[in-house]
C-alpha cells in the first residue's frame, strides 16, 4: 500500500477535484481497492509472489479501476460535498457527473430513512472510520432503490479528516428476488390469492384490533361442492381454470378491504374485518353462492358448480385466529352435509356433533363385531296382482345403551370411515341367507334388494368381494340398488361392475331417482332393471299436478327403457290412487308396511299372499 501511496491516478483525481488534501486519502483508498483485486487474483492463482497487474502504471491502474468498476464510487470532501464520481455512479443514479459535483452526499436520498439514520452513519464513521450498510436512494427518474454502501472516512497525512470514499452496489435486483420469495411464501401459486399464512397474519391483527374497538368481524370458508368429480370429468387443466374463475368470483363478491385466501384445493376463505351484525355476513355469503352457481364455461362446455359457506364471527365465537378459521371450516362442512349450496353459521354445539361422530364411529366398529347390526325388510307390492314381489333390505343398529340408531345417522359415518365396506359384505351374506329362508318357506319367487355404497366399488379387492358374495347368493333373485353418485364417480368402472352383476343373473336398480342430477344421458348409457322414484315426488302428489305429471313421465320412460318403476314412500290411499291413475303399480311404503324384522317379514309375505289369493 505504501508503494501505491503516491499513485498518480489518485493525484489526477485530486487535481480534478481541485483539492490537494484529497490526494493522500484517495491514494490510500484506491490502493485498498488494488490490494483487494490483487488479493482475489492471488487467491485464485495459488499465490504468486508478484502480482501481474503491478506492471501497469499506477496512474493507469487507478484510473482503470475507477472507470470500469461496476460499483458506484463517490468521493466527497470533509464537508460531504461530492468531488468525484465514476461512470458506474452515473449509470446507477441517472445523473451526469456535472450534475452532482458539489452536491451533498445523499442529495438523492429516498426519504425511506430519516435523519437519525444518517446521523448514526456519521457517528460510526467518526468512531471507526468506516460504515457498511444499506441506504435507500432515489434515481434521477424518481425510482427508489437500495444499495449496499461501504464508506470510509479518510484523513490527510497530518491526520485531519479529509473526506469520504463511498463504494456502493445497487441491490434492487436482489431485493426484488427477496420480495418475490416473501410473496411466494404468502400466496397461492395458482390463484395468486393470499394463502393460509397471510390470512392468519391478517386475521391475527384484525382480531386484536376488533377486541380493542369492540367491533365484530367474520371469517367465511367457501368450499366448492363436488369439485373432485368436476375436476375428474373436465381434466386438471380445465379444473385449474375453474378454480381461478371461482376465486375471481369470490373476490368480486366482497369489498376491497376484505381478504380472500385459498386454504386448500377447493377451499377458499374470506376475512371481513368489520361487520355491523351477522346479516352483513349472510348477505356476502349469499352473493358468493349466487356467483358460484352461475355456469362456468370450460372448453365451450357449461359446467355447474355450487359452494358451501361456513361463517364464524370474531371475537364472538372465538378470539383465537386459528380457532376462528377452524370454526368457519367446520360450519362449511355442515353446510356440505345438508346438501351444499348453503350457508351455515358456526354454533357452539358443532364440536359436540363432531365428537358424537367420532363416538359413533368407534361404537359402529364394535357393532359390526358384536352382532348389533340387523336387517329389516320392507315389502314392495305389485298393486295389480296384490302380491309381495320383492323387499328392500334396510340396515338397523341396535346399540346396547342407545337402542335403535337410525341409518340416517350411522350410514354417513360408516361411509366416511370406510366401515361401510365391511358392513356391506356382511349385508350381502345376510340377504343371501334371507333369500334361502324365503325359498324354504315357499316364497322362492320373492326378490330381495340391497343398497350398495360407492365405497364398496372403489378398490378392486372390495369390488371383487361384492361380486363373489353376490355369486354365492341366489343371484337371480337379488337386486343391487345404486345411486347416481356412483355413476358419476367413475362411469367406466361402474359400467363393468354392472355388466358383471348382470352376468351373475342379478339386477340393478337406480335408487332415489329424481333427487340427483338424473341426467337422461345416464339412462342412455347405463341399463337399469328398476327405477326407484324418490319419496319427495310422492309427498304432495295429490295436490301437485307437476309432480304427478313427472311421475307419469318417469313411468312411460321406464316402459321405453324396459325398466320397472317402483314408487317409494307411499303412505296414503290418496297417494296410491293418484299413482295408479298414471300407471304406477309397484309400491313401497308405510301404506302397506314399514320395514320389518326378518321373522315378521316372512310372516307378512305369507299373510299377504294368502289375503290376495282369498280376495
Ligand atoms: P333408501 O334406500 O332410500 O331407503 C328407503 C328409506 O325410506 C328407508 O329408510 C325406509 O324406511 C324409508 N321409507 C320407506 N317407506 C316410507 C314411507 O312410506 N314413509 C317414510 N317417511 N319413509 C319411508 P331407512 O331404513 O331409514 O334408510 C334410510 C337410508 O339409509 C336408505 O335410504 C339408504 O340410503 C340407507 N341405507 C339403509 N340401509 C342401508 C344398507 O344396508 N346399506 C347402505 N349402503 N345404505 C343403507
Ligand atoms: Ca334404497
Ligand atoms: Ca330410495
89-96 mean pLDDT: 94
- Nearest CA to 447 out of 473, 477, 418 is that of 477
Distance CA 324, CA 315 (A): 8
Distance CA 567, CA 531 (A): 8
Comparison of pLDDT for 33 and 435, the residue scoring more: 435
Contact 320, 314 (CB under 8 A): no
Residue 534 CA: which ligand is closest? 3
Question: Any idea how long the chain is?
Answer: 615
Distance CA 512, CA 482 (A): 9
Give the position of cell 324396459: 562
* Residue 8: predicted pLDDT: 37
Q: DSSP letter for 276, please.
A: S
Contact 602, 437 (CB under 8 A): yes
Q: Nearest 10 degrees: CA dihedral of 228, 235, 515, 422?
A: -50
Q: Ligand 2 centre from 375 Cα, in Å?
A: 13
Is the C-beta atom of 24 inside 6 A of ligand 1? no
The answer, yes or no, to whether the previous bond of 315 is cis (omega within 30 of 0) is: yes
User: Please, which residues have CB less than 5 A from ligand 2, an ion?
Assistant: 451, 481, 511
Phi, psi of 206, rounded to the nearest 5 degrees: -65, -40
Is the C-beta atom of 147 inside 6 A of ligand 1? no
pLDDT digits (tens, 9 = 90+) for 321-341: 999 999 999 999 989 988 889
pLDDT band per the 50, 70, 90 thresholds, residue 5? very low
Contact 217, 209 (CB under 8 A): no
Pairing of strands 387-399, 447-451: parallel
Contact 262, 188 (CB under 8 A): yes
Confidence check: pLDDT of 111 > 90: no
- Nearest CA to 72 out of 97, 109, 48 is that of 97
Is the C-beta atom of 427 inside 6 A of ligand 1? yes
Q: With b meaning 16 or more CB within 10 Å and e meaning fewer, what string describes 335-356?
A: bbeeebbbbbbbeeebeeeeee
Is the C-beta atom of 378 inside 6 A of ligand 1? yes
Is the C-beta atom of 562 inside 6 A of ligand 1? no
Confidence check: pLDDT of 513 > 50: yes
Confidence check: pLDDT of 157 > 90: no
Q: DSSP letter for 226, please.
A: T
Contact 186, 197 (CB under 8 A): yes
Measuring CA to CA, how many Å separate 477 from each of 123, 315, 432, 443?
Answer: 97, 60, 9, 11
Give the nearest ligand 1 atom to 588 CA. 15
Q: Ligand 2 centre from 412 Cα, in Å?
A: 14
* Residue 55: predicted pLDDT: 60
Confidence check: pLDDT of 438 > 60: yes
* Residue 53: predicted pLDDT: 52
Task: Please tell me the residue having the least CA distance from ligand 1 atom 20.
Answer: 569
- State percent of the chain over pLDDT 70: 89
Contact 30, 9 (CB under 8 A): yes
Contact 483, 509 (CB under 8 A): no
Task: Please tell me the residue having the least CA distance from ligand 1 atom 35.
Answer: 407
pLDDT band per the 50, 70, 90 thresholds, residue 358? confident
Contact 426, 368 (CB under 8 A): yes
- Per DSSP, what are the bridge partners of residue 123? none
Confidence check: pLDDT of 392 > 50: yes
User: Which of left, alpha, beta for 583 (phi over 0: left; psi -120 to 50: alpha)?
Assistant: left
Amino acid at each position: 500500500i505504501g508503494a501505491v501511496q503516491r499513485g498518480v491516478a489518485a493525484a489526477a483525481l485530486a487535481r480534478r477535484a481541485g483539492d490537494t488534501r484529497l490526494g493522500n486519502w484517495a491514494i490510500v483508498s484506491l490502493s485498498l481497492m488494488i490490494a483487494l483485486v490483487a488479493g482475489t487474483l492471488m487467491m485464485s492463482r495459488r499465490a504468486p509472489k508478484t502480482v501481474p497487474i503491478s506492471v501497469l502504471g499506477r496512474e493507469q491502474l487507478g484510473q482503470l479501476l475507477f472507470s470500469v468498476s461496476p460499483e458506484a464510487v463517490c468521493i466527497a470532501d470533509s464537508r460531504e460535498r461530492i468531488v468525484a464520481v465514476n461512470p458506474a455512479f452515473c449509470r446507477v443514479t441517472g445523473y451526469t457527473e456535472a450534475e452532482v459535483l458539489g452536491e451533498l452526499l445523499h442529495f438523492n436520498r429516498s426519504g425511506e430513512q430519516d435523519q437519525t439514520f444518517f446521523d448514526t452513519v456519521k457517528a460510526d464513521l467518526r468512531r471507526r472510520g468506516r460504515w457498511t450498510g444499506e441506504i435507500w436512494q432515489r434515481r434521477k427518474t424518481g425510482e427508489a432503490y437500495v444499495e449496499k454502501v461501504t464508506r470510509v472516512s479518510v484523513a490527510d497525512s497530518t491526520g485531519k479528516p479529509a473526506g469520504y470514499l463511498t463504494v456502493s452496489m445497487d441491490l434492487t435486483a436482489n431485493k426484488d428476488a427477496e420480495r418475490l420469495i416473501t410473496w411466494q411464501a404468502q400466496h397461492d401459486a395458482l390463484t395468486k390469492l393470499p394463502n393460509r399464512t397471510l390470512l392468519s397474519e391478517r386475521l391475527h391483527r384484525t382480531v386484536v384490533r376488533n377486541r380493542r374497538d369492540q367491533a365484530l368481524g367474520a371469517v367465511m370458508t367457501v368450499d366448492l361442492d363436488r369439485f373432485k368429480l368436476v375436476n375428474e370429468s373436465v381434466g386438471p387443466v380445465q379444473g385449474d381454470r375453474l378454480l381461478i374463475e371461482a376465486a375471481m368470483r369470490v373476490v368480486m363478491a366482497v369489498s376491497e378491504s376484505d381478504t380472500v385466501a385459498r386454504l386448500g384445493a377447493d377451499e377458499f376463505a374470506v376475512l371481513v374485518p368489520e361487520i355491523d351484525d351477522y346479516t352483513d355476513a349472510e348477505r356476502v355469503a349469499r352473493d358468493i353462492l349466487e356467483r358460484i352457481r352461475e355456469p362456468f364455461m370450460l372448453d365451450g362446455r357449461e359446467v355447474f358448480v355450487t359452494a358451501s359457506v361456513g361463517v364464524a364471527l370474531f371475537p364472538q365465537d372465538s378470539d383465537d385466529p386459528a380457532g376462528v378459521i377452524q370454526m368457519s371450516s367446520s360450519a362449511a362442512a355442515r353446510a356440505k352435509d345438508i346438501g351444499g349450496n348453503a350457508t351455515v353459521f358456526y354454533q357452539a354445539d358443532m364440536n359436540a356433533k363432531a365428537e358424537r361422530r367420532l363416538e359413533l364411529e368407534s361404537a359402529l366398529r364394535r357393532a359390526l363385531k358384536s352382532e348389533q347390526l340387523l336387517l329389516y325388510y320392507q315389502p314392495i307390492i305389485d298393486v295389480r296382482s296384490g302380491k309381495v314381489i320383492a323387499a328392500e333390505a334396510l340396515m338397523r343398529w341396535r346399540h346396547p345403551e342407545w337402542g335403535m340408531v337410525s341409518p340416517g345417522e350411522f350410514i354417513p359415518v360408516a361411509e366416511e370411515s370406510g366401515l361401510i365396506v365391511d358392513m356391506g359384505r356382511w349385508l350381502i351374506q345376510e340377504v343371501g341367507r334371507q333369500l334361502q329362508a324365503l325359498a324354504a318357506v315357499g316364497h322362492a319367487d320373492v326378490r330381495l334388494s340391497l343398497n350398495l355404497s360407492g365405497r364398496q366399488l372403489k378398490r378392486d379387492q372390495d369390488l371383487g368381494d361384492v361380486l363373489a358374495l353376490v355369486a354365492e347368493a341366489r343371484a337371480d333373485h337379488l337386486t343391487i340398488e345404486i345411486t347416481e353418485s356412483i355413476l358419476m364417480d367413475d362411469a367406466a368402472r361402474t359400467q363393468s361392475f354392472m355388466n358383471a352383476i348382470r352376468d351373475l343373473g342379478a339386477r340393478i336398480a337406480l335408487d332415489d331417482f329424481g333427487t340427483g342430477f338424473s341426467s337422461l344421458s345416464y339412462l342412455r348409457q347405463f341399463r337399469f332393471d328398476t327405477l326407484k322414484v324418490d319419496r319427495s315426488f310422492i309427498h304432495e302428489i295429490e295436490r301437485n299436478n307437476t309432480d304427478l305429471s313427472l311421475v307419469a313421465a318417469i313411468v312411460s320412460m321406464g316402459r321405453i327403457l324396459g325398466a320397472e318403476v317402483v314408487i317409494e314412500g307411499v303412505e296414503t290411499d290418496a297417494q296410491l290412487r293418484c299413482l295408479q291413475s298414471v300407471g304406477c303399480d309397484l309400491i313401497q311404503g308405510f301404506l302397506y308396511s314399514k320395514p320389518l324384522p326378518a321373522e315378521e317379514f316372512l310372516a307378512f309375505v305369507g299373510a299377504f299372499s294368502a289375503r290376495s289369493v282369498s280376495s
